[in-house]
Chain A
Amino acid sequence: MANRNLISRFEEIGIADRPTVGGKGASLGELARAGIRVPSGCVVTTAAFERFLAAVDPAGSIRREIEQLGADDHAACSRVCAEVRTRLESAALPEDLRASISAHYAELYTPAGFDEPGEPVAIRSSATSEDSADASFAGLQDTYLWVRGADSVIEHVRKCWASLYAVESVMYRRRLKLPEQGLAMGVVIQRMIDSRCSGVIFTRSPNTGDRSVVAVEASWGLGSAVVSGEVTPDKYVVGKITGEIMSRTVSCKLRQHRPNAAGAGVIDEEVPVEQQNVPCLSDDELHSLVAIAKRVERHYGCPQDIEWAIARNFPPGENVFLLQSRPETVWAAKDAAPVAAPKGKPFDHVFSLLSGGAGKK
């Protein structure tokens, strides 16, 4: 049954809810349900967006106007998009929606009893489209870090929604002649982890596609520095089955992102010199990351591409959080013919190998 809620907590949703909460939200819900530690959060659903849009534009003129744009008319497109975004970003939310977002935001911190004012969250857009062209929807991957206070949260939710009408996105849709009706997105509101270090995990080798190894990349501070490619992270390769650390490359990590403790947003700064060449992860931390990655992969049944963070203010054993997990796509596309097929007799394999090519047709 379709999710009609305006907002759903992670633990209420799973991967099947993608159409109403978007891929990122659905995946975080799925992880939380599977018992993987993710920062608590909720997703503002597509139903909420539809409700907001209906309130701003009861006549449905926005969608009609965009559908009439020519695929190559960049000038008209820029003008319309700018108008639409201004309209969306300045419109007030319907009161019930506003109240609901505020309540869910407050709830995120209640159980842990955080007493800081304006507890920080990350606001991330969560696209509903299934095709791998997601990345081409510039703007659909918007992420706002260290957002504090209910008003600011609401403002950033609107920004995410408005990003549906970024010029590049709209022109892309026009070129593909995609319908505007039903176009929507989820927005994730998630407690923000102040991470000591963070990075990504591939549950197969990025170099050879080997599924028996786990590759971990790690750098200081928030994961945004790693994902944006601003820093060369430490790299580890660990045997997925044996747990052996097969290689360990400690890089010189020059930049780090960290929350602006005094206010909002993220500071991009130089890593203190004495920390630049220090490995980010202890062996124990590396092993816990690998154990979690194995669980996630097993849960999904295919190799994963995972973002993780180790929280600064949590005790060991409770400080590893996943921020995202999605199926690995690069090697999945290359997985070719089977390495071997069964033969009549087990020792027929010896004959093929030692035939020097004579046995092959």
Chain B
Amino acid sequence: MGVESKSRSFTLPSQIADVPGTEGWQSMYPYYTRFQPEDDQRFWFYNAMHFPEPMPAFDALTAEIPYEALGAFTTRIFAFPTTMGIEHRIVNGRIYITANPVTDPAELQRRLAIFQERAGYYYENWNPIFGEWKVRMENLIHELEAIRVPKLPEFDEAEVVTKTKGLGQNHYIRENFHRTIELFSKMWHHHFEMLMLGYGAYMVFFDFCKKAFPETADQTVARMVAGIDVLMFRPDDELKRLAKLAIEFGVDDLFTADCDAKRVLDEMHGRGDAGNRWLAELDKSREPWFNMSTGDGFYHHHLSWNDDLSVPFAALPRYVEQLRRGESLERPTERLKEERGRIIAEYRELLRSEDERQAFDQMLGLSHLVFPFVENHKFYCEHWFTSLFFKKVKEFGALLVTYGVLADASDVFHLQYVEIESALADVSLAWAGGGKPLGAAHWRPIVEARKCMVERLKEWNPPPALGPIPPQINDPALQMLWGITSETLETWSAKAEAGHENEIVGFAASPGVVEGIARVLRNVNEIGQIREGEILVCPVTAPSWGPVFGKIKAAVSDIGGTMSHAAIVAREYGLPAVVGTGKATQRIKTGQRLRVDGNRGIVWILD
């Protein structure tokens, strides 16, 4: 997987071999995600930011539907002049993407006219549209929650007759499963409805700062843009609130280091009124704030806090302890606001003319306008909605278990969504016909084989990019979302060529320099392994790891940009962070001593 310097190319898609023992992995994904021979001519990169692990069959839908929605808005609805949509392919379970640029001047001109009119409408009405957006999104979420997975009783409800409904329960299997997928699609369309315009605003301000202050770190520009009150901090704030209440109600003794969530809840019930009051407060926090994925909402197994209370309960003892010591857990929002104001004012003052200052005000103002959406949509979409979505799909999985088609409800995620429909049709027919579903013999071996394949595929180290290196990459979307520029590719290819064994270069995301012991986590579910004072090394740092940020010394990720949520959280926790290194999880081993330089974006392996 080297880079040939002559042809300036990464490994070609056609050169990638199957991982032994995973032959036939292609059956997990739709035909339109396979690399074609002509794809060797195009440049692709591994989207490790969103898809850091091999995709289980169902989870590939979290690429398909978002790219349908993203492309609809950039290509067809707003007609972004320079960028059409994103194409994706899956190889060895990993998602590679490429963007379709527009370069023909006449075409650019034609698209620009449409873009100005349509994007202008959204920018002009941004806040009212965002207000409506939140209502629409909450309605979608409630609609999803209300979806019922039919029970299929021996005899259907009497009211089918008395209320002349005229539809059997098995019809609702089909309708409600469809409805679940449809709502997921709607959510993703709304997700991209405003997002790319938001990024457009960021890009303008970043571009200006790069020109006016060429040596200023992206993270500093990001600090000027970032707001202080963002929803992503709210779940963590809820934990702090619960820690405080535990002390107030006198039940804080239950939160010992390494306490078990289930045991704490059981004992809480035995603590009478105080215990019940605390549990009532916990319930208040859980909806909606514990609908926080431990990942970024792209994998069914990235459980939410509600699905797996061990993540929030891992943070509670620490907060209780800090409060007992008299430490304040409040985020110093006033100080953060003041500091942000000072930075903005001083940069502004350094500009050379009143004209520049006015342009700076306009661009920064636009970034501040879009920031609440860009930051907060994530909670609504990737966390709240998506956590409930996977839960709902799993309920359909449970129905398949009831009818013996699957052994475990989670096995449903090893089927493509069209295969789930097919398995559900099997059940529906069996219920209606009075016979037995045939799915057990068909699906169970497939599920078992796929589970093994996904495990094996985890061992494959995907190259960060495939195909010929383009002469230049100036797609603003790639730059803002994935931090991918011509320089990134140079770094990646230089790494593959020479490889200074002990030095890993990425983007400086949060300042500071520290040394410590590495903990490499390839999967968010391994989060429990982190020990106090370690340096987290992971494919992508997800914001829901917030509580863990109190424990670690620094964060290093394979992929991520300056405005990634991880970068925002790291800056606020004052932790050095280096993101977008390409290969940190492959080159660093747990237990190695590292120096992380968040000012320059360099990680050294000291052992």
Which A residues have a C-beta under 8 Å from some C-beta of B? 205, 207-213, 237, 239-242, 244-247, 335, 338-343, 345-347, 349-351, 353-359
Q: Pick from B120, B214, B353, B355: contact of A208, CB below 8 A.
A: B214
- Give me the 4 closest cross-chain CB pairs, A-B, nearest first: A358-B108, A342-B358, A340-B359, A347-B123
With A351-B112, A356-B103 already in contact, the answer to whether A239 and B220 are too (CB < 8 A) is yes
Query: What is the distance, in angstroms, from A327's C-beta to the closest C-beta of chain B?
Result: 14
B81 close to A340 (CB less than 8 A): no
Quick one: CB contact mask for B489-516 with A, threshold 8 Å, 1 for yes? 0000000000000000000000100000
Residues of chain B within 8 A of A351, CB atoms compared: 112, 115-116, 119-120
Q: Pick from A244, A339, A341: contact of B212, CB below 8 A.
A: A339
A347 close to B201 (CB less than 8 A): yes
With A247-B600, A346-B363 already in contact, the answer to whether A213 and B216 are too (CB < 8 A) is yes
Q: In the complex, which residues 211-249 of chain B have their Cβ closer than 8 Å to any Cβ of chain A?
A: 211-217, 220, 223
B112 close to A346 (CB less than 8 A): no
Q: In the complex, which residues 168-219 of chain B have their Cβ closer than 8 Å to any Cβ of chain A?
A: 197, 200-201, 203-204, 207-208, 211-217
Q: Can you spell out 19 A-B residue pairs with CB atoms less than 8 angstroms apart?
A: A205-B215, A213-B213, A237-B215, A239-B217, A240-B346, A241-B220, A241-B346, A242-B220, A244-B599, A335-B352, A339-B211, A339-B356, A346-B123, A347-B119, A349-B208, A349-B359, A349-B366, A350-B200, A354-B81
Residues of chain B within 8 A of A244, CB atoms compared: 217, 220, 511, 599
B204 close to A349 (CB less than 8 A): yes
Residues of chain A within 8 A of B352, CB atoms compared: 335, 338
Query: What is the distance, in angstroms, from A340's C-beta to the closest C-beta of chain B?
Result: 4
Query: What is the distance, in angstroms, from B597's C-beta to the closest C-beta of chain A?
Result: 10
Quick one: CB contact mask for B71-82 with A, threshold 8 Å, 1 for yes? 000000000111
Q: In the complex, which residues 415-449 of chain B have their Cβ closer than 8 Å to any Cβ of chain A?
A: none
Query: What is the distance, in angstroms, from A335's C-beta to the closest C-beta of chain B?
Result: 6
Q: Pick from B112, B215, B220, B366: contact of A358, CB below 8 A.
A: B112
With A239-B220, A353-B207, A353-B476 already in contact, the answer to whether A358 and B105 are too (CB < 8 A) is yes
Tell me if B158 counts as interface (CB < 8 A to partner A): no
B82 close to A242 (CB less than 8 A): no
Q: Pick from A212, A339, A342, A357: contact of B215, CB below 8 A.
A: A212
With A246-B599, A347-B123 already in contact, the answer to whether A212 and B216 are too (CB < 8 A) is yes
Q: Pick from B123, B212, B216, B366: contact of A239, CB below 8 A.
A: B216
Residues of chain B within 8 A of A213, CB atoms compared: 213, 215-216
With A241-B347, A353-B476 already in contact, the answer to whether A358 and B355 are too (CB < 8 A) is no
Q: Which range contains the number of B residues in contact with the other chain?
A: 35 or more
Tell me if B27 counts as interface (CB < 8 A to partner A): no
Complex-state Cα separation, A181 to B31, whole angstroms: 92
Quick one: CB contact mask for B355-389 with A, threshold 8 Å, 1 for yes? 11011111101100100000000000000000000
B108 close to A350 (CB less than 8 A): no
Residues of chain A within 8 A of B346, CB atoms compared: 240-241
Residues of chain B within 8 A of A345, CB atoms compared: 120, 123-124
Residues of chain B within 8 A of A342, CB atoms compared: 355, 358-359, 361-362
Residues of chain A within 8 A of B124, CB atoms compared: 345, 347
Complex-state Cα separation, A100 to B211, whole angstroms: 54
Query: What is the distance, in angstroms, from A338's C-beta to the closest C-beta of chain B?
Result: 5
A355 close to B112 (CB less than 8 A): yes
Q: Pick from A245, A346, A356, A357: contact of B366, CB below 8 A.
A: A346
Residues of chain A within 8 A of B355, CB atoms compared: 338, 340-342
Q: Looking across the interface, which residue of chain A has its beta carbon closest to that of B197?
A: A350
Complex-state Cα separation, A245 to B369, whole angstroms: 31
Complex-state Cα separation, A99 to B362, whole angstroms: 63
Q: Looking across the interface, which residue of chain B has its beta carbon closest to that of A347?
A: B123
Complex-state Cα separation, A351 to B362, whole angstroms: 13
B217 close to A246 (CB less than 8 A): yes
Tell me if B102 counts as interface (CB < 8 A to partner A): yes
Query: What is the distance, in angstroms, from A164's C-beta to the closest C-beta of chain B?
Result: 37
Q: Pick from B82, B109, B214, B362: contact of A343, CB below 8 A.
A: B362
Complex-state Cα separation, A339 to B80, whole angstroms: 24
Residues of chain A within 8 A of B511, CB atoms compared: 242, 244
Known: A212-B350, A239-B216, A347-B120. 4 other contacts (CB 8 A): A209-B214, A212-B216, A241-B346, A358-B81
B599 close to A355 (CB less than 8 A): no
Complex-state Cα separation, A345 to B125, whole angstroms: 13
Q: Looking across the interface, which residue of chain B has its beta carbon closest to that of A297?
A: B350
Q: Pick from B214, B347, B356, B600: contact of A338, CB below 8 A.
A: B356
Residues of chain A within 8 A of B112, CB atoms compared: 351, 355-356, 358-359
Residues of chain A within 8 A of B214, CB atoms compared: 205, 208-210
Residues of chain B within 8 A of A205, CB atoms compared: 214-215
Residues of chain A within 8 A of B220, CB atoms compared: 239, 241-242, 244
B201 close to A212 (CB less than 8 A): no
Q: Pick from A207, A339, A354: contact of B208, CB below 8 A.
A: A339
Tell me if B605 counts as interface (CB < 8 A to partner A): no
Residues of chain B within 8 A of A340, CB atoms compared: 208, 211-212, 355-356, 359-360, 363
Residues of chain B within 8 A of A247, CB atoms compared: 599-600
Residues of chain A within 8 A of B105, CB atoms compared: 357-358
